[in-house]
């Protein structure tokens, strides 16, 4: 368990990067720090392993005050992964991963067999072992970075935008692997990202920070989506969200099943009214709120009658239109 108590970081130039942060990271899950660039995510993370010292307040790891713990000792229990894996270019993949065990005084044979085991854990093929970092893709390099951070089997893993530089498809598979890894190894992971989708996908709990280093909300993803505490969180969490992969239609009735799909983030014209068809399992309430805020009525897929139609709902209250839609005999016509 990691606790922040009244933690503030003011840099010498006066910048307040983190402002009076109170937060408990529960052991054994993924806690995500998310927020716009410059909101203090990296600073918060680096205070956990004493790469940055707080100006005020206290951080404890399993009840121990980190300020009173030897930094080298502290870091042995805390793996750290950053955006650019930072691998040693002239060492093979296996040797990169074996570096920490060797530093800890393991025998060469033991360190190498541990490294081979870690390659398997993070999903790197055996034949990568003898390659050099430049011969690997960005996604593979990140896997090596994760393996290296896990080498000494630390109970805590800090990850600072580890997947932000890889392309979206690879990023998704790295995210899936991380979820699998966490459930298998039971590490306490603190994961920093500016990407709310990544935060929602990975986080058991998500801390939303705003610029100035103020914690806006700390909650389970479903709660952030369903009950954002203020407009900042609502906008940050809900932005562009209602339209992802959803069907929509405008002026004419369109049979369900022939609904076009809106591309990610594609704007919906202000002067039109829209009905979105959503799968309620996949699109939690907050996404729907985001869609409604942007002028859409939302019909959950559960309520749809196969073969029915949806209509432009025109002007008027979206909520009442939706209610009418759901209570109409045809299922969803308005």
Q: Which residues bind Mg ion (CB under 5 A)?
A: 42
CB 15 within 8 A of CB 42: no
Among residues 131, 173, 179, the alpha carbon closest in space to that of 159 is found at 179
Catalogue the E-assigned strands of 141-186: 156-160
The only residue of 2, 21, 23, 40 in contact with ligand ADP, by rule CB under 6 A: 40
When binding is defined by CB under 6 A, the residue of 23, 25, 41, 325 that contacts ligand ADP is 41
Report the residue number, 1 or 211, with the smaller CB distance to ligand ADP.
211
Q: Quick one: 212 or 314, whose CB is closer to ligand ADP?
A: 212
Q: Which does 141 bind (CB under 5 to 8 A by kind): ligand ADP, Mg ion, none?
A: none
Residues 8-27 that bind ligand ADP (CB under 6 A): 11, 13, 15, 17
Binding residues with ligand ADP: total (CB under 6 A)? 11
Q: 313 with 325: CB under 8 angstroms?
A: yes
Interacting stretch for ligand ADP, rule CB under 6 A, among 7-15, 243-251, 266-274, 307-315?
7-15
Q: Does 84 bind ligand ADP (CB under 6 A)?
A: no
Instruction: Please say which residue, 34 or 299, places its beta carbon nearer to Mg ion.
Output: 34
Mind giving me the DSSP string for 8-65?
EEE-TTS-EEEEEEEEEE-TTSEEEEE-STTSSHHHHHHHHTTSS--SEEEEEETTEE
With CB under 5 to 8 Å by kind, the binding choice for 93 among ligand ADP, Mg ion, none is none
Does residue number 50 form part of the binding site for ligand ADP (CB under 6 A)? Answer: no
**Least separation in angstroms between CB 49 and ligand ADP:** 14
Complex with Mg ion: residue 42 or 140, whichever CB lies closer: 42
Is there binding between residue 38 and ligand ADP (CB under 6 A)?
yes
- C-alpha 274: how far from chain center: 29
Using left for φ > 0, alpha for ψ between -120 and 50, and beta otherwise, residue 86 falls in: left
42 near ligand ADP (CB under 6 A):
yes
Q: Does 83 bind ligand ADP (CB under 6 A)?
A: no
CB of 41 to Mg ion, least distance (A): 5
Using DSSP bridges, classify how beta strands 78-82 and 64-65 pair: parallel, antiparallel or unpaired: unpaired
32 binds ligand ADP (CB under 6 A): no
Question: Which of residues 31, 43, 83, 193 is near ligand ADP by CB under 6 A?
Answer: 43
State the CB neighbour count (10 A cutoff) for residue 143. Answer: 26
* Minimum distance, C-beta of residue 63 to Mg ion, in the bound complex (Å): 28
Q: CB 314: neighbour CB atoms within 10 A?
A: 10
The one of ligand ADP, Mg ion, none whose footprint includes residue 182, by CB under 5 to 8 A per kind, is none
Residue with tokens 């600073």: 43
Who contacts 47 (Cβ-Cβ below 8 Å, separation ≥6)?
A: 4, 7, 9, 18, 53, 54, 59, 66
Q: Phi-psi region for residue 79, left (φ > 0), alpha (ψ -120 to 50) or beta? A: beta
Q: Which is nearer to ligand ADP, 45 or 136 (CB)?
A: 45
Nearer to Mg ion, 42 or 141 (CB): 42
Question: Running DSSP on this structure, what letter comes out for residue 261?
Answer: B
Q: Which does 88 bind (CB under 5 to 8 A by kind): Mg ion, ligand ADP, none?
A: none
Burial status of residue 215 (CB atoms within 10 A of its CB: 0-12, 13-18, 19 or more): buried
**CA angle, 308 then 313 then 317, to 5°:** 130
Question: In the complex, which residues of this chain contact ligand ADP (CB under 6 A)?
Answer: 11, 13, 15, 17, 37-43
């Amino acid at each position: 368990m990691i606790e922040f108590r009244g933690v503030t970081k003011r840099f010498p130039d006066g910048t307040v990067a983190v402002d009076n942060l109170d937060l408990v990271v529960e052991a054994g899950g993924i806690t995500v720090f998310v927020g716009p660039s410059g909101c203090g995510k990296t600073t918060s993370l680096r205070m956990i392993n004493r790469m940055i010292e707080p100006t005020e307040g206290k951080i404890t790891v399993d009840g121990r005050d980190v300020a009173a713990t030897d930094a080298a000792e502290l870091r042995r229990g805390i793996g750290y992964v950053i955006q650019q894996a930072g691998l040693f270019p002239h060492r093979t993949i296996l040797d990169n991963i074996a570096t920490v065990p060797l530093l800890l005084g393991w025998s060469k044979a033991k360190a190498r067999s541990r490294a081979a085991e870690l390659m398997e854990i993070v999903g790197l093929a055996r034949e990568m072992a003898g390659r050099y970092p430049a011969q690997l893709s960005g996604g593979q390099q990140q896997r090596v970075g994760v393996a290296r951070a896990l080498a000494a089997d630390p109970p805590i893993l800090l990850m600072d935008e580890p997947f932000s530089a890889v392309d979206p498809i690879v990023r998704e598979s790295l995210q899936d692997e991380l979820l699998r890894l966490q459930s298998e190894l039971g590490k306490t992971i603190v994961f920093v990202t500016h990407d709310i989708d990544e935060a929602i996908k990975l986080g058991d709990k998500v801390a939303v920070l705003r610029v100035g280093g103020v914690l806006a909300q700390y909650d389970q993803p479903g709660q952030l989506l369903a009950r954002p505490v203020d407009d900042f969180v609502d906008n940050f969490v809900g932005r562009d969200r209602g339209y992802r992969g959803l069907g929509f239609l405008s002026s004419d009735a369109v049979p369900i099943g022939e609904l076009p799909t809106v591309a990610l983030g594609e704007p919906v014209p202000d002067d039109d009214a829209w009905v979105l068809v959503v799968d309620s399992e996949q699109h939690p309430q907050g996404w729907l709120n985001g869609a409604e805020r942007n002028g859409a009525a939302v019909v959950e897929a559960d309520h749809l009658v196969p073969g029915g139609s949806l209509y432009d709902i025109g002007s008027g209250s979206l909520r009442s239109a939706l209610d009418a839609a759901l209570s109409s005999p045809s299922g969803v016509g308005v």
